[in-house]
Structure 1
């Protein structure tokens, strides 16, 4: 999100009204025993075929990891998952 912020500042554009949550922090909370939580590592751990640094594949893999975290945390929706991870939806 910092890239979007910096680009908007550089081009003197209004920041878009975007809500987001941090999938890295969800993974860190859900699998604290993993030494690393990089997307490539997580994909490998869960048998997800992943083409790193391909923007579409990055997004799809993040979604799959969040879905696995929700299942492990026994959460039915994002709000519940974020609550269990002590996180919240942020605004840009």
Structure 2
């Protein structure tokens, strides 16, 4: 087994933002996974790993994120990565920016005949729409516009950086709405570690 080089952060966390990059138009072709784990002091603990999608890369995707076959040649496959990530993620509320990441995880699990994960997801696009309704029709709520509008600093289309940006969007929305993540997340309460231990 090819082990992931970086250790997973140690919790507990309030929530975890997750982002993926894919090798092609197939949502199952995950080639990078990034996590941004937000602790109870609002510090962000990042984790990123490349994933060998065991499939061909599309030139468009390579140009978009800069990840190609040579980048992931020695990286673990999705089942290897997921076996470590699933128990880590399961206790927490997860944040994605749109449904792309949840769908990609589901598609990769299906492609490898892994069980469909029972995870609690929230969408930071919807959270951003609550906090900044004025962006509708005026740049929108994608990470590209939010980066400029909210003065965020990150490299777009890097899974770790995009995950961190999604986490920052949620925390800024909490401040703007004066509500906690649990109040604005629109997610079912299933996280086992939502309170400090």
Is residue 60 from structure 1 mapped to residue 159 from structure 2 by the alignment?
no
Cα distance between partner residues in 2 of 1:32 and 1:10: 38
Q: CA deviation at 1:49?
A: 1.0
CA RMSD after TM alignment: 1.8
Between structures 1 and 2, the one with greater helix share: 1
Bigger Rg, which one: 2
2:187 paired residue number: 88
Is residue 28 from structure 1 mapped to residue 129 from structure 2 by the alignment?
yes
> Larger relative CO (CA 8 A, sep 6+): 1 or 2?
1
Between structures 1 and 2, the one with greater strand share: 2
Q: 1:45 aligns with which of 140, 149, 159?
A: 149
Is residue 79 from structure 1 mapped to residue 182 from structure 2 by the alignment?
yes
Q: CA deviation at 1:27?
A: 0.5
Give 5+ residue unaligned stretches, structure 1.
Answer: none
Where does structure 1 differ by over 4 angstroms across 4 or more consecutive aligned residues? none
Give 5+ residue unaligned stretches, structure 2.
Answer: 1-101, 191-197
Using the size of structure 2 for normalisation, the TM-score is 0.41
- Residues 43-87 of structure 1 deviation map (CA, whole Å, 9 limit, x = unaligned): 111111120011111011111111010101101x311223xxxx2
1:43 touches 1:49 (CA, 8 Å); kept in 2?
Answer: yes
Q: Give the count of matched residue pairs.
A: 86
